[in-house]
């Protein structure tokens, strides 16, 4: 495994970090708890020491699964990353979405990051995670109803109290990161980034390089699209959020798979899977420090971790990017 420093901090994360959204089941058509625990443990055996979760993933389920998976491992050997600012138990802020919990009950989820809410969320996360500190604490989505100053000064308090080690953000623009950084040292911005979603290259990447901020890329495999395993006609389980996203319509599956077919010879030459090639390309992009990779079972998590064994030279990276620039998906 490879490890990289986050921003200008002393926090080091494994370049492939375990993404525990699917582990919580919510929006993924349910979860198999023992499979998720096994996936986390096996990835740790491969050197994946960092795990990214959030309270809203399964409304606490994902954090509890992470805690169970890490039992017996010394706390200083792992880095726990979680989030705040999405409440399903409080109608405050702005409505993010209407959803259903893992039991099929209707829930409303709000983006809210007021001071009192963050303090409560932090305590709840510490309890569920069975730890006394969080390595990287991130606002999950921007909250337009609360001043960034109030939110970030609250996280700064939690850092002083020792409950949080470092502050990060998610889904923030470069401008929002710069504003947040006035009140607490922001070490990272977790944003969606993949071969087929590269819009952050315009503003966020240049800003991050200049300001020495890390980008943590989520959904680098575009939630399964870039694995080569999804073919036209693919059907999703009930409750799977991907069913209505344009990436996964038959035409885009066809176009994406044609692109991936052109990568297969290189993957074969490297003795790698397509997923591993995609992950390696991702962590080689400017300002992308970490790639989050989720897994529903141990086989997937081990395969993701071993993406670091794939080595790509400048010519090979350029070859992939050139092919990628010819891929056009239809919205």
- Round to whole Å and give the CA distance between 204 and 185: 17
Query: Quick one: 294 exposed, middle or buried, by C-beta within 10 A (0-12, 13-18, 19+)?
Result: buried
Residue among 135, 32, 155 nearest 81 (CA): 135
Q: What residue spans of 183-249 are helical by DSSP H?
A: 204-211
Q: What is the per-residue burial (b if ≥16 Cβ within 10 Å, else e) of 107-141? A: eebbbbbbeebbbebbeebbebbebebbbbbbbbb
In the annotation, is 57 catalytic? yes
- Round to whole Å and give the CA distance between 139 and 57: 14
Residue among 214, 197, 221 nearest 304 (CA): 221
Of the residues 57, 183, 193, 207, only one is catalytic, namely: 57
What is the radius of gyration, based on Cα positions, of the chain? 19
Tokens of 93: 């802020």
8-state DSSP, 310: -
CA angle, 266 then 219 then 117, to 5°:
160
Contacts of 1 (CB under 8 A, 6+ apart): 14, 15, 16, 46, 47, 48, 49, 305, 308
Structural contact between residues 131 and 93, judged by C-beta atoms closer than 8 angstroms: no
Residues designated as active site: 57
């Amino acid at each position: 495994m490879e490890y990289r420093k986050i921003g200008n901090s002393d926090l080091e994360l494994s370049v492939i970090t375990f993404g525990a959204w699917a582990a919580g089941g919510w929006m993924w058509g349910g979860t198999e708890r023992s499979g998720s625990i096994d996936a986390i443990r096996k990835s740790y055996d491969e050197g994946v020491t960092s795990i990214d979760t959030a309270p809203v993933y399964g409304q606490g389920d994902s954090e509890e699964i992470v805690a169970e998976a890490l039992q017996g491992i010394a706390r200083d050997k792992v880095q726990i990353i979680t989030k705040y600012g999405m409440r399903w138990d409080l109608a405050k802020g702005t409505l993010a979405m209407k959803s259903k919990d893992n039991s099929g009950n209707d829930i409303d989820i709000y983006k809210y990051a007021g001071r009192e809410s963050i303090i409560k969320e932090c305590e709840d996360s510490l309890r569920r995670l069975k730890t006394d500190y969080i390595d990287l604490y991130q606002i999950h989505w921007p909250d337009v109803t609360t001043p960034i100053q109030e939110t970030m000064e609250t996280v700064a308090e939690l850092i002083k109290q020792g409950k949080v080690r470092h502050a990060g953000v998610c889904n923030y623009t470069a401008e929002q990161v710069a504003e947040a950084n006035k009140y607490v040292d922001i070490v990272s911005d977790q944003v969606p980034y993949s071969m087929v979603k590269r819009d952050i290259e315009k503003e966020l990447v240049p800003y991050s390089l200049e300001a020495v901020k890390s980008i943590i890329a989520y959904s680098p495999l575009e939630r399964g699209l870039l694995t080569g395993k999804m073919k036209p006609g693919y059907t999703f389980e009930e409750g799977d959020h991907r069913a209505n996203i344009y990436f996964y319509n038959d035409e885009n599956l066809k176009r994406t798979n044609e692109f991936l077919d052109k990568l297969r010879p290189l993957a074969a030459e490297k003795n790698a899977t397509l997923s591993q090639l995609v992950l390696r390309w991702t962590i080689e992009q400017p300002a992308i420090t970490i790639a989050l990779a989720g897994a529903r079972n141990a086989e997937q998590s081990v395969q993701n971790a071993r993406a670091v064994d794939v080595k790509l030279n400048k010519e090979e990276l350029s070859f992939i990017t050139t092919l990628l620039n010819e891929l056009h998906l239809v919205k």
